[in-house]
Structure 1
């Protein structure tokens, strides 16, 4: 005799927060959640041209018949959290978020060692990279939890990469941030388990995003990944967005504390 899955839930009417919502994986995930009937709160940090594109994207998402609120603020700032979280609580009616996606990709891409001091990473640049790409996940989770916006059925996802194990020129600070991020995910999974909140890292394959294009020599990474991936193509932002939707439909917190590969098998061959 078959039995329906316990805790299976629709995303329709849920509230979801995307940090880094204006492009790449963040925007693709916001779009996928909206198409599932989920309302979207997005935080992004863009100058004039990027702001206009973000506003156009938010309007596009609203055409799915959901509520969408984008905020052009620095997601790594404590001031931003203190300003936005009360607004989020009001917009959601105090209901816990279904999804929190941490997709912040802003860090310094310089070597540790260089002949000229100005060409090597400084302590300020390393601290900034770790704070934006790793530590901010902890601070958002803390503040959202205190506000009652994380609860049973909530899902937290943090975007990691193969940089957690592999190194390339100029990628040291970002690689360190990915390792720290994964450690934070494990600790948050432990501490949020009593609240029935699942916390996982998503390790996407090489994905053509604005952040990838900023990496010096990224063309070689792209060619290698496309040639070696069993699917014979790069990972797309939509692949990651689909994974978020699939993993978020249920209320179970039993899949937690993991690094989940979303790469089409890329890690098997590279």
Structure 2
């Protein structure tokens, strides 16, 4: 059976990915910094878990090696850790920027390093997360756009570096997804309607929209796809309808 590591598994998107992979017969190692939430969710799915700070390279690599020891091999790593900050640059503190870079870029970089450690012999798939904000200019998104833009560069470079080892690296770039992280936006009727209007398909995304693509990307049947940034954004980053 295939083996996947889901980092940030207790978040809205991470949990949806874990549920879908589990339903398709994957053996899973769920990774998060919150042991209480992680233990409960892993128990719900009857899968393994590992507590780690995903911003720390050594802890992510330890999680990956733990999965390898448990299952004998690893096929995929999906990193769903991220954050959201909506402020113009002049109101964003250095601490806030550093935190945004750490939670987004550093965790993605850590996943790539861990993939080299456990996928280098037989290849596999790494799925990271960018954002529509890195692909189209959105006001007050400077910090998150910078961090996610860096991830897009990382995807392309790492895909080239590790192609010879048959390690595929791709990213999903969502629009606004209804998760606990974004609840302050979609839970208020006026901001929810304004956000829907920005997405040409007229609705906000669900975690399952991202999960279905993540599972498709890790599927070995799609092993000729690497270095891609794929939007799951209702057309936000590429379409203008008025």
TM-score (norm 1): 0.77
Partners of 2:77 and 2:115 within 8 A in 1: no
Please state if 1:189 is matched with 2:168: no
Greater Rg by CA = 1
Residue 214 (structure 1) shift: 5.4
User: Number of paired residues?
Assistant: 239
Match of 1:60 in 2: 44
The CA distance in 1 between the partners of 2:199 and 2:86, in whole Å, is 25
**1:107-146 equivalences in 2 (<5 Å):** 109-114=86-91, 120-122=92-94, 124-145=95-116
Match of 1:92 in 2: 71
The CA distance in 2 between the partners of 1:236 and 1:183, in whole Å, is 26
**1:129-208 equivalences in 2 (<5 Å):** 129-145=100-116, 147-152=117-122, 154-164=124-134, 165-169=136-140, 171-208=141-178
Partners of 1:109 and 1:215 within 8 A in 2: no
The CA distance in 2 between the partners of 1:139 and 1:102, in whole Å, is 9
The CA distance in 2 between the partners of 1:216 and 1:239, in whole Å, is 16
The CA distance in 2 between the partners of 1:104 and 1:186, in whole Å, is 19
Match of 1:80 in 2: 59
Match of 1:262 in 2: 232
Please state if 1:32 is matched with 2:20: yes
Residue 209 (structure 1) shift: 1.2
Q: Which runs of 5+ in 1 are unaligned?
A: 1-12, 63-67, 115-119
CA RMSD of superposed structures (Å): 2.7
The CA distance in 1 between the partners of 2:60 and 2:36, in whole Å, is 23
Secondary structure at the counterpart of residue 182 of structure 2: helix
